[in-house]
Amino acid sequence: MNRSPISSTSEKETLSLLWGCELNQERPTWTFKPQKVGKQDCVLSLSTISLGEKAKEEVNVVEILPSASQDDKKRKPLTLASLRASVLPMVVLGLEFSPPVTFQLRAGSGPVFLCGQEHYNLSWEEVEEEEEDLEEEEDDDDDEDVDMFLEETPVKQVKRLAPQKQTGAAKEKKMEKKEEAVRQHLKGSPAGKPKKPGR
């Protein structure tokens, strides 16, 4: 049978990482930049915007700022959510953005939490490199864990229980009695006697 190799350059796999940020009075803006650097295509999938438990009873407005290019200077910020603790403490979204993306808390003191996922389209070569890197990290972590385990584990002395001779002897006697009973039964039963040839 003739098999031709399949080109792996056209096939892609997606790597997804959790992402989140907090907007508050001290840090009212946050710019999303990809964690992974390389040739990958990156997309931020924003799933929820929610108020923190310490949020005041006020309106918190979260918006997305246009990028700093000259074409986008004419654009105005786009409001994503207007939250209030007693009325609407959270919104569920399904929006996707290409980085860089800047989020801003325009009104309110927060804290407001933005959650989502980063998605990277990887070629098979990049996937194999990622797996090798993860395996190396895991091997390093395992070595550290073993060293830590050996250093911290105290040696405990364990008392052995003495074997119970009476129990073992009693079981042996019971087994002998059962075997003797089976032998006696076989001697007295018709199955134990040889059959006479039929007439």
| Tens of pLDDT, residues 144-171 | 555 554 555 555 555 555 555 555 677 7
CA distances from 91 to 42, 72, 95, 96, 113 (A): 24, 27, 12, 15, 11
Residue 116's contacts (CB-CB under 8 Å, 6 or more residues apart) are 18, 19, 20, 44, 45, 46, 47, 48
Average pLDDT over residues 87-116: 91
Average pLDDT over residues 8-19: 71
DSSP structure string for 124-183: HHHHHHHHHHHHHHHHHHHHHHHHHHHHH------PPPPP-HHHHHHHHHHHHHHHHHHH
Task: Specify the 3-state DSSP secondary structure of 119.
Answer: strand
Domain boundaries, the chain: 23-131
Query: Long-range contacts of range 189-195, CB-CB < 8 Å, 24 or more positions apart?
Result: none
| Tens of pLDDT, residues 33-89 | 887 766 568 889 999 999 998 899 999 999 998 877 656 567 788 999 999 999 999
Q: What is the dihedral of CA 62, 77, 96, 105, to 10 degrees?
A: -20
Name the CATH topology of 23-131: Jelly Rolls (2.60.120)
pLDDT value for 9: 42
pLDDT value for 120: 86
